[in-house]
A and B are shown apart, each in its own frame.
Chain A
Amino acid sequence: MKYIIGLLTTIFLLLSYTTPFAKEVYPKFTVKGFGTFGASGTDTDRLGFRSDIKQTSGVTEDWAIDTDSRMGLQLDVDINDSWHAMAQWVARNSTGDFFEQNLDWAFLRWRPRNDLDIRAGRLGIDTFMLSEYRNVGYAYLWTRAPHEFYAGLPVYHFDGVDIAKKYSVNDGTLTVKFFGGRSFTQVPTNVSGSAEQNLVLAGGKLAYEYGNWNARISYNYSQTNNELAPLQPLLDALNRPDINSVWPDAQYFVPYLATKNQSVHFSSMGLAYDDGIWLTQMEASYTDTNINLYPSVANAYLSMGRRFGKVTLYSLFGISESIHNPVKVSNPLMPIPDVVQLRNVTDQLINTNGVDEKSISLGLRWDVSQNIALKTQWSHYWLGNDGVSLWLPAAAGPTPDTVNVWSVGMDFVF
């Protein structure tokens, strides 16, 4: 880690001595970055608010800065006219290996012609409008990517290839993109520590940009390659003959906790309009899975904003509803405490993974200078009975029906 920081500093110092001259001199190195410094808090101590499910800690009545603050550093290398390399690393609140999991981009790009890009290496996932740049707060209006839509996605990147081709269609630009590869993501679990998730994925998108309009549809198929290791002791216990003698249904619940060789289908569409004064954006998606720990879910959001000079006022409405049937977990024949506890943990794991959330937000973005924006946002969440898995349980007992979240922050690019 120290070595990498030292290396980056050296590169940066070397680069700052280059003189401004526009003749393309190869290889050309550029260092740039982005960041958000933000604080947020809620009006409950019973749930922790986090900006996505890869975060291990959330904010409560006690305000904190680690839900929204992050900082990214990017190195670009123009090797020649058609070859380019890039690496981007983001310091943020996340689960797992601090260096490896936060390296979001590291790829080599080949541009054999003006309208064709082929990239290989570590890449952002282009499944949704913001999924390639949801860390870059300066690039969007809100304090954070819409919660109902983006908080359920722990995967930020994959290792593989993508191919994008652009076409001129009726004065607009049509982009067709395909991607495929593998991803390794460490996710927090309620059981014990983090779990490792291996996926094979492939997908594509179709995007059309015309004047003030931007529209896209996309699809992504993922297949899980492993069982979640922290669940293994539980699975072993459910399979034990002595446990099945007191609780005959125990083994029946094993498949409900399985994550290996399961499929996940993400389908989405998005539309954005921005005429310089008014801006609106919406996305809708459906995630179809047969994993009980990550049930099928329908998400959507709609945002509208208006600019008044350097100040933009906005509103945002979001909804996320899991679509799954509760599984009735039977009781052991005899109330042996250990077996009852096993039963309860099983019940909790199978039945409390849903999301049942709606929210409305009002906010303000103020572009105080050409690379700094100040933001403040108030969000009011309605949490239904079907699950609060986007949040962190901060205390045992019933969860609140409504939560207010307040945030202030500063986004910058350099």
Chain B
Amino acid sequence: MRNLLLLLLLTMLSRSTLAELAVITHMKNNIDTLSTQQVQDIFMGRTRVFPNGKFCLPIDQSSPLRAEFYQKLTARPVEQINAYWARIMFSGQASPPQQLPDDHAVLQTVRENEGAIGYIDKIHVDNSVRVMLLLK
């Protein structure tokens, strides 16, 4: 049991890799930056609009980056985020953000949708999107 707990702790630690994540939006989005709290509210379904009142379309990932993103954004493991969404979606309140397979797909979708907001590894950011927040 103790070995098992140690192993679990090690898995937890090794997950905090060195990647820096960038929260990105469309070039035409006129907001300067978003706070961690504002990005949380959008990805946790507490709001469906940007602070400027415009409709937003959060894009999640189905890649391993997802666990890292929520750990950095909410300081909670992804299992807790999934349990949170189970409560919200199975009581008919809201649906979780749509998931795309990788950074490339997110980048492409954010470029094409004015309201989109997604996250990718910082090294994949180019000048076709705007960075709203960096998560270390």
Chain A residues near B (Cβ < 8 Å)? 20-24, 30, 32, 34, 72, 74, 76, 78, 81, 86, 88, 105, 107, 109, 114, 117, 119, 123-124, 132-133, 135-136, 138-140, 171, 173, 209, 274, 276, 308-311, 367, 370-371, 373, 413
Which residue of chain A has its CB nearest to the CB of B6? A309
Chain B residues 62-108 with CB under 8 Å of chain A are 67, 74-80, 82-84, 86-87, 89-93, 95, 98-101, 105
B109 touches A21 (CB 8 A): yes
Distance to closest chain B CB from A146 (angstroms): 16
Contacts A22-B116, A23-B112, A23-B113; A107 near B92 (Cβ below 8 A): yes
Q: Using a Cβ cutoff of 8 Å, how many contacts connect chains A and B?
A: 98
B8 touches A72 (CB 8 A): no
A310 touches B116 (CB 8 A): no
Contacts A72-B90, A109-B92, A124-B91; A20 near B105 (Cβ below 8 A): yes
Which residue of chain B has its CB nearest to the CB of A276? B76
B95 partner, pick from A76, A209, A309, beta carbons under 8 A: A76
On chain A, the residues within 8 Å of B75 by CB distance are 276
B80 partner, pick from A30, A34, A173, A276, beta carbons under 8 A: A276
- The reply on B18 being an interface residue by CB < 8 A is no
Bound CA span A58–B134, Å:
53
On chain A, the residues within 8 Å of B9 by CB distance are 308-309
B12 partner, pick from A76, A119, A309, A373, beta carbons under 8 A: A309
8 pairs of A and B residues whose beta carbons are closest in the complex? A309-B8, A132-B91, A367-B79, A139-B86, A139-B87, A22-B109, A276-B76, A136-B90
B5 touches A34 (CB 8 A): no
Bound CA span A88–B67, Å:
28
B: interface residue count bin: 35 or more
Chain B residues near A (Cβ < 8 Å)? 5, 8-9, 11-12, 37, 46-49, 55, 57, 59, 67, 74-80, 82-84, 86-87, 89-93, 95, 98-101, 105, 109, 112-113, 116
On chain B, the residues within 8 Å of A310 by CB distance are 8, 11-12, 77, 79
On chain A, the residues within 8 Å of B67 by CB distance are 370
A22 touches B98 (CB 8 A): yes
Bound CA span A20–B93, Å:
23
On chain A, the residues within 8 Å of B55 by CB distance are 81
B99 touches A20 (CB 8 A): yes
